[in-house]
Structure 1
Amino acid sequence: MSPSRKGAVLALFLALTMVVNVVPARFFVEESSVTVLNSWAMGAKHDAAIADFGIPNYGGFMIGSVVYAGQGDYGCDSFNKTFKPKYSYPTILLIDRGVCNFALKIWNGQQSGAAAVLLADNIVEPLITMDSPEESKDEDPHFKDKINIPSALILSSFGDNIKNALTRGEEVILKIDWSESIPNPDERVEYELWANTNDECGVHCNEQMNFINNFKGTAQVLEKGGYALFTPHYISWFCPKELLFSRQCKTQCINQGRYCAPDTEQDFEDGYNGKDVVYENLRQLCVHRVAKEKNISWVWWDYVTDFNIRCSMKEKKYSKECAETVVESLGLSLEKIKKCIGDPEADVENEVLKAEQAFQVCGKLERTVVLKAICSGFKEGTEPLICLSTDIETNECLEANGGCWQDKRSNVTACKDTFRGRVCECPVVNGVQYKGDGYTSCKPYGPARCSMNEGGCWSETRKGLTFSACLNSETSGCHCPLGFHGDGLICEDIDECKEKSACQCDDCKCKNNWGGYECECSINSFYMKEQDTCIERISGSRSRWFIAIVVVIAIAGISLAAYIFFKNHLQAYMDSEIVSIMSQYIPLDSQCINEDSHQIRTLVTCNEDC
């Protein structure tokens, strides 16, 4: 880690380790400041007393491989040799405590090429702070000011464990963290994420993706405001030469075994393999590089979240074409990214992957924890507003619609802005649910779908007549209406006359209309559509005589009915009324009235008989 580098560094891989500083302080023992990364037998976390001199002028941590100076070599004199790293990591030189002061040991260690120095205590006692030594006339009075590597004092028991492991030929990789000892010197915090594109690795992959989704909006706001600088990293390793032509290396590596990733399924013949994973890792690194060149490095977060939805390996959606579609949807140059990736089959080093280091850091992935860690790197009163509130207001949908689907005709979009950043999700508009992937397509669904742009189906109006391929009786799909043919998205008029599907009667003439047809018959005939036939019309003179006869017959019938009614009903009624009136004035014997109630004898004859 170069001393000229500014800002705190935050490294994460599936879990998160915070690397930010709070306030300047006198250096005391830091708990769990040294972590063993590759040997759980020694335990993961160990305390150390960080020196109050020689630390670079920025807070952070470093990863290195331990080299032991040797028993009896206390580092009080020049080592007269260079401790070159045996592995790909910087060298952490382990020196025994004793004989001379701390600073002199560390100075000689720095002169021998060490990137950091650990002093193993020579007695069993609590750790003490390694203070600056008093000046000695036998020493260079300025050497302690020239020390620019980190150093720490560790317990004798921990030192013995490291020595024993090295004696057995084991590599010991340590992480030294001095983040609590030095304040952040500038107003920009730097942090890193170590990740993997394979989402089939179970709970750890889920944890990583949940963190990215939750922290995305926060990260983009911080970076857009110039408050933070983010860099992604990806895990890869090389294939041993003796296994270079094995099935495992051929399916898990690119560039002739130089960069590899594991096949989670351990099925080298079926599904996705390690080669796909490391290739996608490389693509995502190039996405960040190309986006950074355009000063929009925060687009990396959009790519990763979109890729996880659209091209998930776990859901069997991954393909090179799918990933390139995501790249283009975000407005990045596909050609530049391809150039950055290079030829994965070539027997050459890849510049991007070569720069990546294969290590794993443990910690906790949580949005609020990471945000708190980053914000603690700012001086009080200089932190961005997002550090004072968890509310994040963004408007990513205004730029290229966030790379989401959009129907410009109805102004409906799948882009939704949230505090986590934009998401592409088919919307609900006026009670109508849209369904689709949110990126390339969204279609209205349900009974009321035709009210929204005809449900995405064909529709056309001519001369005030409208036809549509959307039916409210159906919840989905498009079907051309009667008189049209097509797939429902495009419908064309059917010429029933040319197809001879209508007007088949002998005297019929067919005329095609838009969406239908008309059948015509001769002058003396009219068309009956149901029977597809022509019926002869009745002539005018015959019809007039026919009407006259009908009228005469109707009048005669009415007259006859009136006569019969008068004769049988009205006359009988009048006779009975007359008898009733006369009986009041002239007594009549009951025998004087004939049994036939409809006839009456004359009054004179009746009186004589009585």
Structure 2
Amino acid sequence: MMMSFRLLFLAATASSVLSGTPDNVSSRLMVHVPHHLFKEGGYDHREALFGRPPYGGSISQSVYYTEDDLCDPSKAVLHTHPHDVNEKGETVLKSPFILMVNRGNCAFVQKVRNAQRNGAAGVVIADNVCLCSDQECMAHQESQASSGGVAPAPCETAEPVMADDGSGSDVSIPSFLMFKHDADKVKDELAKNRPVRLEMQWSLPHPDSRVEYDLFSSPTDPVAHHFLNEFKPIAKALGHHAYFTPHMYVFDGVRSQCHGMNGENQCFNLCSNNGRYCAMDPDKNLDSGVSGFDVVKESLRRHCIWSNYGEDDGVGEKWWDYVSEFDKRCGNMDYFNNPDCVNDVYHHSHVDGDLIERCMQNSGGLEKDATNSFLESELKAQTDLGVVIMPTAFVNKVAIRGAMSVANVFQAVCAGFAAGSRPHICTMCSHCGDPAACVHHGHCTAHMGGGFMHESLPKGSVSTHSFYGWMLFIVGCFSVAAAWHYKKSRDDMRQQVRTILADYMPLNDSDQMGGSPGGGMQMPAFGGNAQMAVSSMMGMGSSQQSQAPPSAPQYNPGSLL
């Protein structure tokens, strides 16, 4: 009974959200070759909610169309148009390229992942079903069916959503969905082995020199927790160059039929205000622990903190401090709804708890069968921006695709600035693999990763800091070696001098004492030659030697004999 209730609640909520999802496409899909397929403004398409688009950039490459469904990761792409082969007759895909593949048989994520493994730089999914609202596609399909004597294929009433199935974090290439009528034209051209060149382009609106970015999250979302903790120093460093707005995601209980016709709460403890505002149970236990009502309450509290401490400047340092302290002290389910823990967080984040509690009550509270102005504004923001997946970030009202990572969101924020208005932090850190560390240290070092996504350092190259560091190290090693060699040479020379003196000086001493003890033959004196030899080894020039005064004749008793 409990499980069926949860499924009913999820189904009702999902249908209410998806039915009102607007189209917020921030990209462009162009066909440049052949010229007769060129369309001013590009082709209508839908972006995938996974992958990592290069915001502010584009991918322009030749296209291969494969008849394989790309559902089996163990199989390589074989049947392609144009069909390029090597000298062995094996299918060759000349990188870089964009791969077009038909929709169907497996999830979008699986198709794009397998295309990535085969070396694709981007993927275009060709839709194989007409939208019922696409009159041109329907007319073309009916014409083909009548000429072939078969009934036309059924159409679909809702646009397909290229959603992440939960496993798309390893997909880094971008992908689009191209509608059937347009995709058929491209496939026909490729089937004739004619070249087709597509451009996938991403851009963000540049309204002024101040970027606006929004984040939809929930107090119990672990992905949002990690992101908020890492993005906190970046948000503070962006300062007044950007305006941040946090949104707390709650479900519309009225549209989900949790607010009954008689005003009663039909969804137990998942909702506040008699079923008007709801959240899923974070610990999956409706009978105890943290309830959906507790999540709604914490969401309203954070909205009030932002309203009082962040709405004016768009930075909200105390809001970031509160979220960080709450995650550290009350993030555990045992303390999530503990009033003492919340008061402790107020204290450590320097937030006026009484002010926030009054704000929560003045906005409409959570207990009465009445609307809450702040929670109503959150529901409206979700509808206006078409929020489907949590957490979701927007820059200048455009959804950021791909993983909710610090690098991905930060690069999108920096790409949203008007030309010439990018702050220094973006110039310094937007293409760094670890922008949070770059902001902390004040520069992007080699170990942080020299780039982001496809803009990393070329393979085999080194950063400027590394190059000069190694150069200084090598120069230092040579300097030490030269100093050691010089010292060793001096020591060797001195040792040689001592050896010569030890050889000659005893002979002179014995001569001066009267010759050999046995009164034998007189030994000649070496004084002059030995002195010249020693002087030469000590580095004294011949001119110095000649200028020295002549030594007085020494008395030698042996010469009288």
TM-score w.r.t. the length of structure 2 is: 0.39
Which fold has the larger relative contact order, with Cα–Cα distance below 8 Å and residues 6 or more apart in sequence? 2
Structure with the largest fraction of strand: 1
Q: Max radius of gyration: which structure?
A: 1
